Structure 1
């Protein structure tokens, strides 16, 4: 007896056929269950979940086609592959069998090599599919756990860094002779907070539902945050009078926050930034331009790739990568270019509602 490779349910109203097929399958290492009619087969399959069903088409009371229809209508048995047993040579009957959900057929009288070739091939595909689904379930569970841990880690780190950042603000005011040192301490804290915010926004962009979002409000929110963070920079906003709604969510504000932050941080925190919004061909086009030193031409083609640090940044290179991911999540596009007179321009193109 060979090693057991799976369980097969054989369904036939002819006891002789059951014995012949049962012996063939057992000799080739399979566990075998037998049923003499469709009612028994449906009940057994729902209870035991065999790996394959060999099902005779011509049976009294409930024929093989009706039996297969019932199996496929039940969530517990719908995925079990069915190979029909038939003495019929009519193409129409074979088509009926396939339309009912059969994956293959074997003909009477049985030929050992043909039966085992079809059975072995179907079982292998079945086992592969089961392993694939189990693997995908494990990946999904692992991703859910990683997402949860990332949320917890980002939340706790952000809270601790914000406390430290708050103390540096107090020291900056109360110990003026150490302000240069305090600024050096505060700068990496700010970058760390920014990175955490970027990661959290990317995660939110992946899991939050897309809905009608007020584009002007999200841009204004991004600019409001920038005017506090970079008081030496100037921000000019050019908006149409009408409201523009786009399919997005609150993470859209982070897109513009990052673009504005990118313009300021790479131009010594002192730059003139212009944000222009237009509606073109049923889409919203947002252009963020600055009068800074632009982007290195060698970096420009890959500026949105993960790990690229853009304009000689000492950060993680995640900001613009996250911007691109979020924009694409909202079914939009983003491009970057250097301006002839100096500075850089980033153009976001989004569908409008």
Structure 2
């Protein structure tokens, strides 16, 4: 600005005005042109800087929005987790309630009395009540069993950053035992290849991650089996879930299901995205990825495709400091 004002003063003092014409020396002309060139360059530089600043501000605003959405999703997850834990805890307490201990004995007493005195009431009333009671108790016991299984993954006071040494093989065996009936029903075997590693990581994370992946495998193997009834192309001789150790810091998890649907390939780890139509909540793999990312581990879907043309191999990697 000083150069522009100085040039203006020179022009006002040195220029000769004659009607519509203004005469200046070559030296003054050159000075004016240089000043304008410099000003133009500075204006262009300023515009470029403003454009870059706007891009940075837009990126920062988008990042802030993403953080807000992420925080909101995390709050929802915590709320849902708290509700789930509370419900399962209450159902677990029902099983251990002292008043539940003698239900079978009470039914037997009624059975003996009614069988001798009123067979029709025994057949029409007591047996249906007994069947309904058995079903309810069985369901509650299953929830209680699930609570005991997943309790180690719950975040409790002063345990949010608790680490432990997790044996891959032991965790896989634990989940296999838990899913015993589901695996047996669908004739699925869990196969491990070269699994001998231990990882030092947040307590319960590996259990949560593999349990989620295995449950998804059971679901999609079942879907393939149902399709195989009508389409021979979906027939597979052996149903398997395979966990393969690629390196000290990496394992692969895959199965003989139909694989990941094309529409899910690039949104698989986003919140509220599910290929299970009405059967999925779309939060499982989102939570899995966030849990792993929390200590610089990760999960990704590899490019490899199966015989159905779908990507199907999940790669789980942990940082080197997790190796034990």
More helix by share: 2
Q: TM-score, normalised by structure 2?
A: 0.47
| Greater RCO structure (CA 8 Å; 6+ sep) | 2
More strand by share: 1
Q: TM-score, normalised by structure 1?
A: 0.44
